[in-house]
Chain A
Amino acid sequence: MSYFSSHFTTLGHEFWGLLVGGIANGIIYAMVAIGYTMVYGVLRLINFAHSEIFMSGAFASFFLMKVLVGNSTPNAFESVVYLIVGILAGGIVGAVMAVGLERVAYRPLRRRHAPKLAYLISAIGASYFIYNFVGKEFGRINLSIDSPFINNTVFTIFGAAVQTYYIVIFVVGLIMLVSLERLVATSKLGRGIRAVAQDAETASLMGVNIDRTIAVTFMLGGFLGGVAGFLYSIPIGVVYTMGFTPALKAFSAAVLGGIGNLRGAVLGGLLLGIVESFSVAFVNGAYIDVVAFAVLVLVLMFRPTGILGERLGRSA
């Protein structure tokens, strides 16, 4: 009894701090989860290599930041410019990787109507190849990023400090998630994606170019994944294996919210981030990664359709 009460006391003291950190992590998970959910929506397949898209976005912006920031201490204006450049670099490299991945590892199988197992194996192989290739070319040690901004405490909320880093994540994450949601819900492109997700055959009869739509889906997911990689790497740096754990968590988030469902992915990401953050009070730090995974297994066992339900093709 005292075990739990003491832990709840810790939780009480740290509540707001953990909440802010959890939401920030949750937004990053949500951005990665969007990539899983969109690809699952159109292809019915888990893009195992999404973790490497996340990682390559982080690497791209890392090297750019290294050149741009150097040893300087950026002022506010420079910080904003650096951030925008980093986001674009991460996003564009992520998108290029995702489209390339689709071309190389998925499209040949799609042409041949390969069995589902073949996609999974191909994706695992691609993921494995990419991260070991990056490890070979850029070293297998953790590289720390030159922060593009000074991480001040901007304001405190109920005693919990909210730093610049969190503000950056909130602003960037919200802008990207909302604009993606609007893009899929209202634009012609988004209508194409939704049509393919509902029924690819009919969509192609209606004049939707399926190959192009699938490529665009990978591109959008890859862009968000790459940006998430950049945001994730700012405080902790980059290493070639960095994609694995966050991506597994993001996948859990996508399933938690209901795979194929854009809003579900965001909700799942936020929930998972917060749950994980609060579990710090109860679980030994070494087992934090197990929490997200336990959530995944429990959701799959008791509500495999997720909180908001699978809405393949009916998203937004």
Chain B
Amino acid sequence: MKDLWQNPRVKRIGAIMLIAVLVTVMTGPEGNGAEPTAGFTGSFAAQASFFGIFTVQRWIVFSLLTLIVVGAIALAKFVHRSWNDRAHRGGSDASAMSTRTPLRRRLDMKSSRYVFYVIVLVLAIFLPHVITDNSWQTQIVQQILVYILLAIGLNVVTGFAGLLDLGFVAFYAIGAYTTAWVTGALPTPPPFHMQFNTFFAIPFAIALAMLCGVLIGLPTLRLRGDYLAIVTLGFGEIIYLFANNLFGITGGATGTREIPFLSIHLGSLKYLWGLNPVPYYYLTLGFVVLFLIIFSSLEHSRVGRAWVAIREDEIAAESLGINPLKYKVMAFAIGAASAGFAGVITASQTLFVTPPTFTLQFSINILVLVIFGGMGSIIGVVLGGLFIQIFVVYLEHSPPSGYNSQDLYMYLGALLVVMMIFRPAGLFPSRRRRREIDQIEAGTAPDAVLTDVGPHNRVQEEMS
């Protein structure tokens, strides 16, 4: 009997069955404090219709799916093994392998990649003419473009420089509240009269967000990676506390007064962004492209290489004359820039801001986008952000029965764990990042290894 439980195949099936049970409960009805078991019993008793074809208890479907997955994995392994056997014996398969490489190389060529980018951009430009519904367009700006802006900003901090920032929402909040401030929507009087040129809230908010990045970064970025995570987490919460409680400055829990739309009144140049979301869409899209160009050229610049060096081995980087603190603070400030801009868009399009927007949940939501797409890979982060946010918008629009908008965070949390277990480099990893993780896992990387053997002495040396 004991041998049976030790059998890896039995263990695996058991684990997958547990996951099936968990998924059944996760997607099941809600419980409450008065009937704590309602959620669990309901999950197994309730029947659901599957595409109108048949109606059955959901756990049966999930168990069947589980068995199919197990079977498919076993089959895939079997096929893979026999394929490998044939490949080793040489013959026709070897030539098939060799023809694959040049094709890949051709796809990797820069020109074809630019063609791809241009196609995507053209599609993005024509999107408002395809999706003409205003509420959908607003959703696209607020739920997709703003999130992508935040994700590429966090990608600079977490992906490029390797710093886990759990308080990234702070910069978004600073951008939003700065917009409210300079347009006179806060109890605090604005620094100058900006009634008709609210457009210039953008440079102002970006500058202030970057400044705050430097101010928050200078004391905290001296800390080790794991301490940094928890300290930034605290900073994010403090920003929320201040926004929520400083009634005289931020308007407190009731939020700001009405924030005017963006507008320009300079001589003959007059433009007002109004209720129509399309101009906001183009403005945001323009800035997304701008930030993408800036961030990707930074990645391949001297600064980007310094970030990689710090990420891979801080001590070695320092000995080569790179000032880690300087470059880390730089990453913080640059990442904050896009978050500050995202704050402007949210504030001015949604007319007023309230503190509950800027909680830890938001920071983690952005982190999920970065992790899912692939830390350090800009295109990956954009695609990951698109995938997840389109899914989120869909869920909000037509929620399946038993789905509460708060459940989203449960799924995102689970997704983080699953990604870390099975694909830590993300779905579309940058080649450099994937190699790094492979090296660390193979034990050939110099540092940042946390295993059950080995690094403890190193950690102690660092501390002493």
Contact = CB atoms under 8 A, between A and B. Distances in A.
Interface in B144-178: 158, 162, 164, 166
Contact of B222 (A46, A284, A301): A301
A15 interface: no
Main secondary structure on A side of the interface with B: helix
B164 A312 contact: no
Contacts of A284: 245
Contact of A301 (B219, B244, B450): B219
A112 B441 contact: yes
A200 B225 CA distance: 22
Contacts of B245: 284, 286-287
B36 A124 contact: no
Contacts of A199: 456-457
Nearest to A103: B15
Interface in A184-204: 197-201, 204
Interface in A90-131: 104-105, 108-110, 112-122, 124-130
B166 to A, nearest CB: 7
Contacts of A138: 31-33, 36, 39
Contact of B440 (A110, A113, A125, A304): A113
Contacts of A251: 230
Interface in B20-58: 25-26, 30-34, 36, 39-40
A136 B407 contact: yes
A187 B97 CA distance: 59
Interface in B239-278: 241, 244-245
B440 A128 contact: no
Contacts of A135: 406, 410
A279 interface: no
Contacts of B424: 109, 114-115, 118
Contact of A200 (B237, B419, B453): B453
B189 interface: no
Given A136-B39, A286-B241, A122 B420 contact: yes
Nearest to A42: B452
A244 B437 CA distance: 30
Contacts of B375: 117
Contacts of B25: 137
Interface string A291-316: 00100110011001100001011000
A78 interface: no
Contacts of A112: 441
A120 B162 CA distance: 12
Contact of A310 (B30, B367, B409, B463): B463
Given A115-B437, A118-B424, A136 B410 contact: yes
A113 B420 contact: no
Contacts of A287: 241, 245
Interface stretch (A19-27, A81-89, A139-147): A139-147
B164 A122 contact: no
Interface residues of B, number: 70
Contacts of B34: 139
A109 B422 CA distance: 9
A63 interface: yes
Contacts of B33: 138-139, 141, 143
A172 interface: no
Interface residues of A, number: 66
A46 B367 CA distance: 18
B416 A125 contact: yes
Contacts of B454: 200-201
A290 B241 contact: yes
A177 interface: no
B451 interface: yes
Main secondary structure on B side of the interface with A: helix
B229 interface: yes
Contacts of A182: none
Contacts of B226: 45-46, 116, 120
A105 B417 contact: yes
Nearest to A199: B456
Contacts of A45: 226, 450
A117 B449 contact: no
Interface string B436-464: 11001111000011111111110110010
Centre residue among B40, B436, B452 by max chain A CB count within 10 A: B452
A199 B244 CA distance: 47
B223 interface: yes
Contact of A293 (B40, B166, B238): B238
Nearest to B233: A248
Contacts of B395: none
B404 interface: yes
A44 interface: yes
A133 interface: yes
A204 B453 contact: yes
Contacts of B414: 125, 129
A116 B231 contact: no
B456 A121 contact: no
Nearest to A36: B230
A114 B234 contact: no
A129 B443 CA distance: 30
Given A113-B441, A128-B409, 14 more contacts: A44-B459, A45-B226, A109-B420, A117-B225, A118-B420, A121-B367, A125-B416, A125-B420, A126-B417, A129-B414, A136-B410, A143-B33, A301-B222, A313-B456
Interface of A: 43-46, 48, 63, 104-105, 108-110, 112-122, 124-130, 132-133, 135-141, 143, 197-201, 204, 210, 214, 244, 248, 251, 255, 284, 286-287, 289-290, 293, 296-297, 300-301, 304-305, 310, 312-313
18 contacts: A45-B226, A46-B230, A109-B424, A115-B436, A115-B437, A116-B226, A117-B375, A118-B420, A120-B225, A121-B367, A122-B420, A136-B30, A137-B25, A137-B36, A138-B32, A139-B33, A204-B453, A286-B245
